[in-house]
Amino acid sequence: MKPADRRADSRTAVSADSPAWLREDGDGILIFVHLQPGARRTALCGEHGGRLKIAVAAPPLDGRANDALTVWLADQLDLPRRQVRLVAGQHSRDKTLRADGARASQVLRGLRKK
């Protein structure tokens, strides 16, 4: 079995065809993000160190950049805002978000549409 086909733990599925920044987790998806706050505009920038790089226009003050990130990601995935939440990295540029009820194919399709 290839390392990419192994499970990271008992509840996290790793698929050989999904990117390193995307992982299924029970009934949702974990998305590993490198955030660039204070950018000119909010946009997907590509990959950075095995994470999805997203720039947001909001400043990194009082959680504004985190809120802008979750709102933007929920909009891209056509999910209600309450289904996308920050689970790690509150004060870091490297963040982990969880999209409840989403599938890997939905996330990939949503991020490619715009």
Q: Give per-residue pLDDT as tens, 10-42.
A: 444 445 577 889 998 888 999 999 999 999 999
Q: What is the pLDDT of residue 56?
A: 95
Residue appearing with tokens 């994470």? 51
Both tokens assigned to 104: 């890997």
Taking the domain 3-112, which CATH number applies? 3.30.1200.10
pLDDT tens per residue across span 81-109:
999 999 999 999 999 999 998 888 888 88
Instruction: Give the pLDDT confidence of 51-61 residue by residue, as tens digits.
Output: 999 999 999 99
Residue 105 has a pLDDT of: 86
pLDDT band at 1 (very low <50, low <70, confident <90, very high): very low
Q: What share of the chain is helix, strand, coil (3-state, %, to 5)?
A: 25, 35, 40
Q: Please report, in angstroms and rounded to a whole number, the separation of the first and last CA atoms in the chain.
A: 36
- How high is the pLDDT of residue 3? 47
For residues 18 and 4, which has the higher predicted lDDT (pLDDT)?
Answer: 18
pLDDT at 106: 84
| Domain spans in the chain, listed from the N-terminal domain onward | 3-112
DSSP state of 114: -
